[in-house]
Chain A
Amino acid sequence: MGKELIQKSLKDSLFTGIIALALFGPIVGLRTVAKNEVLIVEPKWLVVLLIVIFCAVGRFFINLYTFKKEQRRGEPSSLGKAISNFLDEKGAQIAIGAIVFSIIFPFMPFADRYWMDIAIMMMTYIMLGWGLNIVIGLAGLLDLGYVAFYAVGAYSYALFAIHFGWSFWICLPLAGLFAGMFGILLGFPVLRLRGDYLAIVTLAFGEMIRILLLNWYELTKGPDGLTGIPRPSFFGLPFKRYPDEGVETFHTFFGMEYDPMQRIIFLYYLILILALVTNAFTIKIRRLPVGRAWEALREDEIACKSLGVNPRNTKLTAFAVGAMFGGFAGSFFATRQAFISPESFTFIESAIIVAIVVLGGMGSQTGVVLSTIFLIGLIEVFRDFESYRMVAFGGAMVLIMIFRPRGILAKRKPTITMGKQG
């Protein structure tokens, strides 16, 4: 460690301190609070001081130990490589292990209500991630408005179930169909746009759907949301402690004690099956002509056009299929919550789902699972620090992009190769 290096680092950390002071000074240091209807400023200099010292000292040590140590970014680091190699070799066993684990999960001794709720939430996100993976990962279309289809699925399920009294198993495919139709409707005009323009337009569509849900009071009850959405039943057997006269329930039919966990466990298996169906569908369709066309289109649109693939129709199918799975997940969400309002379908949900897909490694089904566990786990861990958890979430997005721009599982095995795979 030369003297010059220390001097340089000191200078740099001083600069970092000044910048940190400028950044955090006004926003953190001068908190505006309302007092008697008038805003006053409440100084918090100690916090700022701590942050500034932390930044400067941190920068100093980073400089000392990794100064000028050029690491080539964008290349998978050795740890990531090891993980993806491991997953490649043992992929099948791990997948089976994971499925077995998720099947026996509700009967684990620690699986109480809290864990089951988290598991159901994670499964929902995994399903959404797998659905969006068709659009982003396979077809390469960045969709920032995926939550719109989730919302369409949830609302169409809720409206069918409330107004017509149809059962879950009739409403579910209808909701999927509806969401898929919306996908075609929205996708049709915009799918010839380039990557980032498409992203913004889909974002706009997502917001438009939300504003529509918020203001179309006659249909959606606006911000009040829809309540009393019927819970799903086990092939006609409801989960109720005190059922209506003459109705057999789940626990009486099987001669068990009533336990609210029965419904939770049923919901868990429901979303597990839905998610696995999504996954199986994706794995299967990758080997079919349309799946191959999606992946080819992602790699080179012009080459595809010259080989006679119709880009618009191919993209449209990807968009619609992805939307359909979003709709399925939406109807599950509606039946699980029994209450939906536009609040649940904000842009941040889309951002979370996109983050799950992209950070997992686009196109990687295992990556989606890993990044869901990581990101949703991160949000859960920070649950007690309500306002900081999304900061941590956004920060994680940036960091993963910087250190592993291709996602956690960066290596993508080609679906098909010429000759022997080497």
Chain B
Amino acid sequence: MEYFLQQLINGLTLGSVYGLIAIGYTMVYGIIGMINFAHGDIFMVGAFVALIAFILFALTSIALPIVLILVLLIAMVFTACYGWTVEKLAYKPLRKSFRLAPLISALGMSIVLQNYVQAAQGARIKTLQPVIQGGFNFFKESDFVVTLSYLQIFIVLVTIVLMSIFTLLITKTALGRAQRACEQDRTMTALMGINVDRTISMTFIIGSSLASVAGVMFVMYYGVIDFYIGFLAGIKAFTAAVLGGIGSIPGAMLGGLLIGLIETFWSGYISIEYKDIAAFTTLVIVLIFFPTGFLGKPDIEKV
């Protein structure tokens, strides 16, 4: 029971990270119907920006809460620039092209980002000293002590706050309305006087910022990153997006939590070597039996 509880806590934390990345996939898929293959690498760039920022702030004597907020903001701003540029360079010229072209271009962009970071920052893994330490311990009398660290609380809290802001943004503001309109019919939206290009750019900026927050959390939680983390995290987050129903934003968060839980329970109870297989198997099973996910709309094939 205690062990189960611990896995549950770890899984929810990991799931928050996946959920934040998954939102980027689902938004882009909803609005322009493509799998943004480079999104995982955007997350990786976010983690690197956060790492650099943490190292720089460690030299100063700013209080920890302010450092955290600053790092989050810095990572969001710089990573958003990456998302915006990738869209402008690699996807916008291909918007009217045939279906596989953006996917190939995204694949190329993913290779570029990975190797660019490798060239600029070196191929070795980077280790960050723990930023937030300590936590609550439960069941101290039993033989398995359940730990809920402050870091985990922080991660879940930040995710909840961001999700609330983000939901408000989508449901209540003009930008969110424009986005939802673009999802339904881009030509019609343009006729209504909405700048479709700008709306798509904003989608990428928001998606990348959320991914960068996931990057900040990842580097804090694991303390170890390299240029390759984006690939696996990207696939898992994509799985999360599909599981929740691609195109659906609450679905992405739900899917993220589920994938986090599946992965943690799999490595906790079955086999840690094959933990990535768990995510891949889930992806395959979901796509075969369940292609619309939990909250997705069924896809009607038109002739």
Contacts and interface: CB of A to CB of B under 8 A. Distances in A.
Contacts of B303: 302
Nearest to A390: B115
Contact of B126 (A39, A351, A405): A39
A277 interface: no
B110 interface: yes
Interface string A374-394: 000000000000011011011
Q: How large is the interface on B (under 10, 10 to 19, 20 to 34, 35 or more residues)?
A: 35 or more
B249 interface: no
Contact of B101 (A19, A32, A405): A405
A351 B93 contact: no
Interface string B255-289: 00000000000000000011011001101100110
A355 to B, nearest CB: 7
B124 to A, nearest CB: 7
A347 interface: yes
A83 interface: no
A19 B87 CA distance: 13
Q: DSSP class of A's interface residues: helix, strand, loop or mixed?
A: helix
Given A354-B107, A395-B112, A398-B89, A195 B100 contact: yes
Interface string A20-61: 001101111011111000111100000000000000000000
Interface stretch (B10-18, B45-53, B136-144, B151-159): B45-53
Interface in A179-225: 189-190, 193-197, 199-201, 203-205, 207-208, 211-212, 215
B52 A30 contact: yes
A274 interface: no
A116 interface: no
A347 B231 contact: yes
A23 B103 contact: no
A3 interface: no
A204 B280 contact: yes
Nearest to B105: A401
A387 B123 CA distance: 9
B35 A200 contact: yes
21 contacts: A26-B52, A26-B78, A27-B120, A30-B56, A31-B122, A144-B107, A190-B287, A190-B288, A193-B287, A197-B287, A197-B291, A204-B235, A211-B277, A351-B111, A358-B104, A388-B115, A395-B112, A398-B105, A398-B108, A401-B101, A402-B93
A-B complex: 5 closest residue pairs judged by Cβ atoms: A397-B108, A394-B111, A394-B112, A387-B119, A390-B115
Given A190-B288, A394-B109, 14 more contacts: A22-B77, A27-B48, A27-B121, A32-B126, A41-B52, A74-B97, A193-B291, A195-B100, A197-B242, A200-B283, A201-B283, A348-B111, A391-B111, A397-B107
